[in-house]
Structure 1
């Protein structure tokens, strides 16, 4: 499976420029004929202006229209990062997933909201896992701060996912945490992790990039960097079978001592 990740500098609070940028980047990525294209978190507004609710998508309409059109046009699956989005008047951090035919196959409202930035004061939290099949492969999706909660990621792993997609808006100052947590989630759950972070600035923060594809051994298929680019890497799902047969942590769990 070929996976393209879009690491780009979003324009803080400018929805029009961000929609134009993301469409351009998806077209660029599609030129390499990947199986999947993955976007960063909150690509419509960046993370996040004070007027985020006023400029957010409404019921996902504009975002869904764009992702549906481009996935069908280029015969590619799109993991739609996430967007600021109102649902029944409530603000959510929402991800949409589209298949090659332009059909929405999954959506996810971010569960763990980043209280140090006040995200929990603006946004409503989701409450459900995101598990879906894409080209016959079982996948999961979480967003940014979710990665700090290993029990939440393990719940997805226990659904037998093989790839976890993780869009983010992670600050450069904590890049070491980002790199370490993503590798840990891949190793402990014996799955691929595809983590996509943005670049660019807000009024008081700088995003760190370091998007990557990590295999179940914790090795980088695509290495993290801070360059604005579309990157592509290929994964071999047989690696999962090999590691789970040699070090079967799921078999050896002590479910009599702890549960999820």
Structure 2
């Protein structure tokens, strides 16, 4: 299997300006393609900004109109793009991510299923589809958004469905360093896949984003990691190493699904589930 070079855009963009963020995405897609990348992953809500509050409904409409330009950017630079944006549908607002192929063809769209904190619960409706995948450069690629990856069930579901590379546009604030530094690499190791975790950076709307974007791999070794400043992080998704690690680490093969209790609130550890 071929190796895919992936680029992670760690950036604040320009909160509140869809045109400015499209311009930045175009420039960074050109840089990533020049570095040999076949995929660029931008942060959560990149097209509009994250902490823009009351402007989100208006910006969601602008982002919808901008989707065609995102597709043109992907085709212009022959690079796949994963980009976060708000999405309005039926009067509800979703925190979404969209994947476009290197030919400019839309491949997948995902709505964040686990909302984080009062801010997101104020503005967004949770999505109800946990597993979204697409084929890209010979790999099965999946999508989650930020807080979703902190739920092991979500990542394991992707692993069991055959996801090789999990794209995670992110807006992780500074108190969550542990998430980027420890939890995300652990998720990649325990579920035997690659995770492209692309975070925001800078101060915005009361949030201080930690940066620390990373391309975590299944072998448990530290992958490329950004610092706190804006950065275009480039790393390789080594598919040969992925296959070797899945052979050496047999977590998925050694699972005993019939042994584990169902995910039920009435069957907590130490309690007996009521008879059906």
TM-score interval, smaller chain: over 0.9
Q: Which runs of no fewer than 5 residues in structure 2 stay unpaired? A: 264-276
Q: Which runs of 5+ in 1 are unaligned?
A: none
Q: What is aligned with 1:243?
A: 245
**2:53 counterpart of 1:57:** no
Report the alpha carbon displacement of residue 60 of structure 1 after superposing the two structures with TM: 5.0
RMSD of aligned residue pairs (Cα, Å):
1.8
Aligned residue number for residue 30 of structure 2: 27
Q: Distance in 2 between matches of 1:11 and 1:253?
A: 45
Pairwise mapping of residues 1-260 of structure 1 onto structure 2 (< 5 A)?
1-58=4-61, 61-80=64-83, 82-114=84-116, 116-128=117-129, 129-258=131-260
Rounded to whole Å, the distance in 1 between the matches of 2:21 and 2:54 is 16
Q: TM-score, normalised by structure 1?
A: 0.92
CA contact (8 A) 2:51 2:205 kept: no
| Cα distance in 2 for residues equivalent to 1:216 and 1:89 | 40
> Is the 1:59–1:88 contact (alpha carbons within 8 Å) kept by the matching residues of 2?
no
TM-score using structure 2 length? 0.87
After superposition, the Cα gap between the structure-2 partners of 1:73 and 1:19, relative to the gap in structure 1 and judged at 3 Å, is closer
Q: What is the alpha-carbon distance in structure 2 between the residues aligned to residue 93 and residue 56 of structure 1?
A: 12
1:75, distance to aligned residue in structure 2 (A): 1.2
Aligned length: 258
Per-residue CA shift, 1:115-149, capped at 9, x if unaligned? x2331221111111111111221111100010111
1: distance between equivalents of 2:13 and 2:32?
Answer: 17
The answer (yes or no) to whether the contact 1:58–1:87 under 8 Å persists in 2 is no
Offset of residue 254 of structure 1: 1.1
